[in-house]
């Protein structure tokens, strides 16, 4: 692709094609905006993984056709993400179809074991997140939320404004009707 020596060509392909690919991604982000890597939704997470995978494919290709295809695929990823973000912004039904709801794992100092089970979060993981948030007493915790991105938010202090829990779902802890 670049030189006759296969080892040197391999090194140059890895370096040059990856550098070009990274510059291409920077240009695409400048055109479409920082929202491209915001990690605000599960769709954004998939976008980030797909961009990395596509860049990797472009940086390891052995011909210009494969490299061009990878760079075109990057444009397609950014375009689809841009269009989906616009549609989600203007349509609640599309938003609901594409987005998971955040789940409440703990409320007012009480661990919601049914919610942990439903979301496959262990109590050990929850406790680790409480420590990361510098929680000193369980009764300080107003709510713990598993966000749509997979992050866990810990809301603690004396008071919680209910608006901060808008859009979350609580796992139904009532016994099933017989």
pLDDT digits (tens, 9 = 90+) for 104-136: 999 999 999 999 999 999 999 999 999 999 999
Assess contact for 42 and 149: CB atoms under 8 A: yes
The predicted model scores a pTM of: 0.70
Quick: pLDDT tens for 54-71.
999 999 999 999 999 999
pLDDT for position 172: 52
Sign of CA dihedral 154, 99, 71, 66: positive
The packing angle between helices 6-32 and 42-59, to 10°, is 150
Check whether domain 103-170 has CATH 3.30.240.20, yes or no: yes
pLDDT value of residue 125:
96
User: Given a cut of 70, is residue 30 above it in pLDDT?
Assistant: yes
Beta strands 141-146 and 103-107 are antiparallel
For the chain, the maximum distance between any two Cα atoms, rounded to a whole number of angstroms, is: 76
What is the percent of the chain with per-residue pLDDT over 70, rounded to a whole number?
95
Contact by Cβ (8 Å): 139, 109: yes
CA 93 to chain centre: 21
pLDDT tens-digit readout, 84-101:
888 988 988 887 777 778
pLDDT of the residue at 171: 61
Question: How high is the pLDDT of residue 107?
Answer: 96
Confidence of residue 34 (pLDDT cuts 50, 70, 90): confident
């Amino acid at each position: 692709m670049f030189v006759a020596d296969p080892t040197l060509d391999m090194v140059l392909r890895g370096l040059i094609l990856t550098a070009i690919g990274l510059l291409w991604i920077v240009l695409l982000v400048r055109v479409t905006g920082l929202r491209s890597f915001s990690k605000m939704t599960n769709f954004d997470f998939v976008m980030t993984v797909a961009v990395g995978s596509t860049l990797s494919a472009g940086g390891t290709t052995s011909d210009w056709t494969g490299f061009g295809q990878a760079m075109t695929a990057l444009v397609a990823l950014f375009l689809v993400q841009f269009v989906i973000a616009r549609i989600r912004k203007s349509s609640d039904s599309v938003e609901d179809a594409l987005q998971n709801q955040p789940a409440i794992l703990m409320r007012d100092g009480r661990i919601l074991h049914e919610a942990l089970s439903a979301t496959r979060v262990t109590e050990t993981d929850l406790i680790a997140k409480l420590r990361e948030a510098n929680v000193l007493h369980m009764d300080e915790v107003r709510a713990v939320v598993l966000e749509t991105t997979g992050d866990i938010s810990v809301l603690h202090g004396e008071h919680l404004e209910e608006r901060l829990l808008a859009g979350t779902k609580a796992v139904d802890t009532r016994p099933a009707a017989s």
